[in-house]
Structure 1
Amino acid sequence: MRIVIAGGHGQIALRLERLLAARGDEAVGVIRNPDQVEDLRAAGAEPVVLDLESASVEEVAQVLQGADAAVFAAGAGPDSGSARKETVDRGAAVLFADAAERAGVRRYVVVSSMGADPDHRGDEVFDAYLRAKGAADAYVRSRSSTLDWTILRPGMLTNDAGTGEVLLTASTGRGPVPRDDVAAALLELLETPATAGLTLELISGNVPVSVAVKDIAGN
Structure 2
Amino acid sequence: MSRIVLIGGHGKISRHLTSLLVANGDEVVSVFRNPDHRGDIEALGAEAFVCDVETASVSDLQKAMVGADAVVFAAGAGPGSGAARKRTVDFEGSTKSAAAAEQAGVTRFVQVSAIGVDEGPEPGADEVWTAYVEAKRDADAALRRSGLDWTILRPGALTDDEPTGLVSLAEHTERGSIPRADVAAVIAAVLTFPETAGHTWDLISGETPIPAAVAAAVSAG
Fold shared per TM-score above 0.5:
yes
| Aligned mates of 2:169, 2:28 — CA distance in 1 | 25
Aligned length: 217
Matched, 1:207 2:208: yes
Percent of aligned pairs with the same amino acid: 53
1:167 touches 1:212 (CA, 8 Å); kept in 2?
yes
2:35 alignment counterpart: 34
The offset of 1:83, in angstroms, is 0.6
1:164 alignment counterpart: 165
The offset of 1:119, in angstroms, is 5.1
Give the one of 127, 133, 137 matched to 1:134: 137
The secondary structure found in structure 2 opposite 1:29 is strand
| Aligned mates of 1:71, 1:140 — CA distance in 2 | 12
Name structure 1 gaps, 5 residues minimum: none
The offset of 1:218, in angstroms, is 2.2
The secondary structure found in structure 1 opposite 2:75 is coil
The offset of 1:123, in angstroms, is 4.0
1:82 alignment counterpart: 83
The secondary structure found in structure 1 opposite 2:80 is coil
Runs of 4 or more, structure 1, over 2 Å off, are 117-124
The secondary structure found in structure 1 opposite 2:117 is coil
Matches for 1:154-193 after TM superposition, within 5 Å: 154-193=155-194
The offset of 1:193, in angstroms, is 1.0
| Aligned mates of 1:180, 1:62 — CA distance in 2 | 28
1:218 alignment counterpart: 219
Q: What letter is aligned with 2:138?
A: A
The offset of 1:210, in angstroms, is 0.8
Name structure 2 gaps, 5 residues minimum: none
CA RMSD, Structure 1 to Structure 2 (Å): 1.2
Spell out, residue by residue over 1:126-160, the C-alpha distance to the aligned partner (whole angstroms, 9 max, x if none): 111000010100000001xx200000000111111
Q: What letter is aligned with 1:197?
A: G
1:52 alignment counterpart: 53
1:192 touches 1:217 (CA, 8 Å); kept in 2?
no
The secondary structure found in structure 2 opposite 1:4 is strand
Q: What letter is aligned with 1:196?
A: A
Q: TM-score, normalising length from structure 2?
A: 0.95
| Aligned mates of 1:118, 1:88 — CA distance in 2 | 21
